[in-house]
Structure 1
Amino acid sequence: MSFSYPVAVKFSEIDLAGVVFNSHYLTWCEDAKMAFLESVGYGPYWFTDHGRLGLVRHAEIDWTASLKPLDHADIRVSVDRLGTSSFSLRHEIWRRGEEPLLAATCVITYVWFDTAAGAKSELDPSFRAALEQSVGEAAPA
C-alpha cells in the first residue's frame, strides 16, 4: 500500500526569496497526514468520537530543493516507526515534472493522547494494525 497527497504551490505561500516559506511544508504535511489516516480508516471524526489525538512530539525537515509558485508536488506518506504510545510518519515532498525531484523530507513523531484521561496512552490496537500495513511503504518515484 502507498499513499500520495497532491499539492499545488500558491503565490500566497511564497517568501521574499521566491520559494515556499518553510512553515508551509508542515501545513502540507498535516493535510497529508489527515488524508493518509482517512485512507486507512481513521479520519478526523474517528479521533473526536473516540477521545484520541495524535499530538506532535517532534518534527524534522530536510530540504533538498526549492518549490516555486505554480509548482505541483506530491507528498508521499508512509509509516516510519511504530512505538508503544507513539508513531512517526515520513513525508517525502516530490516536485512533479518530467524528472520528479525530491524537494523535502519531513519525519513527524506523534504521541497518542487520551483526551478523557488527559494523558498519553498506548496506541489503540486497531489503529496500530491499520498503520502496520504501511510501515516503510512510500509511493514509487
Structure 2
Amino acid sequence: MTFAFPVVPRYSEIDQQGVVFFGHYLTWCDEAFTAFQASVGYPYPEMIADGVDIQIVHASLDYGSSVHWGDLVELVVENEKVGTTSLTSRVSVRRRSRSDEGWSDAVTVQLVHVCVDASAFTKVPVPPRLVEGLAAARA
C-alpha cells in the first residue's frame, strides 16, 4: 500500500529565499504520519484512549531540491522498521511545479517514534494493533 498525503504550501510557509522554510517539512511530516496511522487502522485518538502515545526521538532530513509556493506537493509515508518500543518511518516529500510534467523527490525524511505510556511517558511496547496495521500496509 502506498500512502500519499497532499500538502498545499501556504504563502506563510515560504521564507525570504522563496522556498519552504525547513521547519515546515517536519510539521507536514507530523500531519502525514498521523493520517498514515489512521489509514493503517489505528487512529491517534484511539491509541491515546488505549493509554499509549508516541514521541519523535529522531528526525533527519535530506534535501534534493526546494519546494516553492505554487508547487504541487505530496508526502509518501512508508514504515521501514518496527522495533520493540519504536518504529522508523520514511517520508518522501515529492514536488511537481505547475509547469513540470512529473513528480520529483524534494526532501527525504526519516522519523523514529518511540511509544510511551500516555500518562507516565515511560517507554512501552508498540501496540499490537499498530504492529498489525503496519504489517498489513507493507503487504
Q: Give the TM-score normalised by the residue count of structure 2.
A: 0.92
For residues 89-100 of structure 1, the aligned pairs below 5 Å read 89-96=89-96, 97-100=100-103
C-alpha separation between the residues in 2 aligned to 1:41 and 1:107?
22
Q: Does the alignment pair 1:4 with 2:7?
A: no
C-alpha separation between the residues in 2 aligned to 1:110 and 1:31?
14
Aligned-residue sequence identity (percent) comes to 35
Between 1:28-37 and 1:114-123, the stretch displaced more is 114-123
Counterpart for residue 53 of structure 1 = 53
Unaligned runs of 5+ in 2: none
Counterpart for residue 129 of structure 1 = 132
SS at match of 1:119: coil
Counterpart for residue 112 of structure 1 = 115
Deviation at 1:9, TM superposition (A): 1.1
* Equivalent residue letter for 2:37: L
Unaligned runs of 5+ in 1: none
Deviation at 1:117, TM superposition (A): 4.3
CA distance 1:130–1:14, change in 2 (3 Å): same
C-alpha separation between the residues in 1 aligned to 2:78 and 2:109?
11
For residues 81-96 of structure 1, the aligned pairs below 5 Å read 81-96=81-96
Q: Matched residue pairs, number?
A: 136
Deviation at 1:48, TM superposition (A): 2.2
C-alpha separation between the residues in 1 aligned to 2:28 and 2:132?
25
